[in-house]
Amino acid sequence: MQGIKKFVRTVVFVALLGIIGFTLYNLFFLKPKVYNLQQLEKLPKEKVVNLVVSPRAYVDRVSVVAIQGNKEILLFEGKLPKEVNEVTFTVKPESSGLKEGEARVVVKLRRFYIFEKSFEVRAIVDTQPPRIHILYAPYTVLQGGSGGIKVKLSEPAQLYVEVGGRKFKSYKVKEDLYISLFGVPVDTSPRDVIKVVAIDEVGNETVIPLGTGIKRNNFQSLRIELSGKEKVMLPKLGTILGGNYEGSNFVELFKKVNEEVRAENERKIAEVGGNSAPQRYWRGNFIQLKNSKVISRYGEKRTYTYRGKPISSSRHMGYDLASVKNSRVPAANHGVVVFAGDLGIYGNTVIIDHGYGLMSLYAHLADFRVSKGDMVKKGQVIGYTDMTGLAFGDHLHFGILIDGYEVTPLEWWDSKWIRTRIEPVFSY
C-alpha cells in the first residue's frame, strides 16, 4: 500500500513538473507574433481586418489601439477564440474618432493576464473616396461593340469600367486625367448598367453609373452538321491535340478541341491582351484584308451536330475573311507584335498591340513575316492566309481585342465611327 502511495505521489510530481515546464516554455521561449499587420497601414472609410496570432503561446486577449498625438483610440479589444489563432474586426475611422492623416497603430497581446507584448505600424487614415468627373462617354454602345471614356479624378486611383461583370482598366494620361477603352460582352443585357469604379490608394471606392445605353445586337445562330466530315477533320483535331488520333472517338475528340482547347486558347488571348502598352500607336480606321469576302461574322452562335444531335457549341468572336489562296495579310494599323506563334484552334496567329488596351488578332496564317517585339506599320505584310488550326478553308480570322476580350471589328473599320466615338477619348 505504501508503495502505491509513493508511486501516485511520484506521478503527480512528474505531472506538475511537466505542466510547470510546459507553461514556462510557452511563456519564455515561444514568442507570439502578429501577422497581417500591413492591413492596418491604410485605413479607409471602412475596412475589415483579420489578424493572425502565431504561435498562440497562451495569448488570451488582443487589443488594437490607434494613437494620434496624445489621443489613444481603441479600435478593437477581445479574447482570442479557443482553437482559433485569429481575430477579425471592422475599423471605421470616422465613428471611432480618428482624424485624416497619419496615426500609429499598436496591437497588444496579453498572456496569463499580466504579460503583454506590443507590435506597432504606421498608418494613413483616409476616409474620403475619390470623386469621378466624366468628361466624355458615348451616348450608346452596341452589344459586342466598343466604347471609350475620358475621366477626371480628384486623387490618384485605380479606375476601371465594369460591363456585364467584366472589368476594363484605364490609363493615366495626365496628372488627374484617365482614359479607358471598353468592350460590351455579347451576352450583356441591354438592361445592364455600365459602371465606372475608382479605388484610391487606401481602398476607398466610388462607383457611378456611366449613363451609356446598350443597344441590342441580333447575332446569327447556325447549326453545323459534322457527320461525313470525319476524314477531313480527324487529322486536324489530332494535330491540335498534339497526339495520335487514330482509333479515337470523333465526337469526344471534337468536343475536347472545341471546348477545352478553345477555352485554353481564349485564356492565352486574355493573358496577352491584358498587357497593353500605356501609349497610342494606331491612327485612323483599321484596314480590312484587301478584296476579301466576309464568310463568317462576329457573335455567331454555332451549334455543332453529329448525325442530327447537338454535341457542342461555341461563339464566333471575330470576322472570317476570304480572298485568293495565300493572300497577303496586312497589319490593320500601327503597333507592336506581342504574339506570333501556334495557338491551338486559331493555328498560326499574330497579335498586334495598338496601345491603351487595344489589339488586333490574325489567325489561321500560313506563316509569319514578323516576330514578337517587331514594330509594324499599317498595311505592312505580317503573313499569308491559310487553313491552320481548326479551319477548313483558306481564310483569315480577324479579331479586335480590348483588354483581351474580342469585340466586333466592324466598328474599327469605320472611319466615321472612330472619329465620332473614339477620337474624343484621346483629345486632351
One digit per residue, the tens of pLDDT, for the chain of length 428 reads 666 666 556 655 555 655 555 455 555 556 889 999 999 999 999 999 999 999 887 888 999 999 999 999 999 999 988 888 999 999 999 999 999 999 999 999 998 777 889 999 999 999 999 999 999 999 999 999 999 999 999 999 999 999 988 999 999 999 999 999 999 999 999 999 999 999 999 999 999 999 999 999 999 999 999 998 888 888 899 889 987 776 678 999 999 999 999 999 999 999 999 999 999 999 999 999 999 999 999 999 999 999 999 999 999 999 999 999 999 999 999 999 999 999 999 999 999 999 999 999 999 999 889 999 999 999 999 999 999 999 989 999 999 999 999 999 999 999 999 999 999 999 98
Measured between alpha carbons, how far is 227 from 405 in angstroms, rounded to an integer? 32
pLDDT of residue 9: 61
| Neighbour-count burial for 28-46, b at 16+ CB within 10 Å, e otherwise | eeeebebeebebbebbbbe
Measured between alpha carbons, how far is 193 from 342 in angstroms, rounded to an integer? 38
CATH superfamily of 132-215: Macroglobulin (MG2) domain (2.60.40.1930)
- Under 8 Å between Cβ of 331 and 348: no
Domain ranges of the chain: 33-125, 132-215, 229-409
Q: What is the per-residue pLDDT across 10-35, written as a single tens digit (0 to 9) for each?
A: 655 555 655 555 455 555 556 889 99
pLDDT of residue 317: 95
Q: Are 33-125 and 229-409 in the same CATH fold? A: no
| Three-class SS of the chain | CHHHHHHHHHHHHHHHHHHHHHHHHHHHCCCCEEECHHHHCEECCCEEEEEEEECCCCEEEEEEEEEECCEEEEEEEEECCCCCCEEEEEECHHHHCCCCEEEEEEEEEEECCCEEEEEEEEEEECCCCCCEEEEECCCEEECCCEEEEEEEECCCEEEEEEECCEEEECEECCCCEEEEEEECCCCCCCCCCCEEEEEECCCCEEEEECCCEEECCCCCEEEEECCCCHHHHHHHHHHHHCCCCCCCCHHHHHHHHHHHHHHHHHHHHHHHHCCCCCCCCCCCCCCCCCCCEEEECCCCEEEEEECCEEEEEEECCCEEEECCCCCEEECCCCEEEEEEEECHHHCEEEEEEEECCEEEEEEEEEEECCCCCCEECCCCEEEEEECCCCCCCCEEEEEEEECCEEECCCCCCCHHHHHHHHHHHHCC
Q: What's domain 33-125's architecture?
A: Sandwich (2.60)
pLDDT of residue 301: 95
pTM listed for this prediction:
0.86
pLDDT of residue 83: 81
Measured between alpha carbons, how far is 152 from 68 in angstroms, rounded to an integer? 32
Please give the order of strands across the beta sheet that includes 86-91.
Answer: 33-35, 47-54, 86-91
pLDDT of residue 111: 85
Measured between alpha carbons, how far is 139 from 162 in angstroms, rounded to an integer? 16
Four-residue CA torsion sign, 254, 260, 262, 265: negative
Measured between alpha carbons, how far is 219 from 143 in angstroms, rounded to an integer? 9
CATH topology of domain 229-409: Glucose Permease (Domain IIA) (2.70.70)
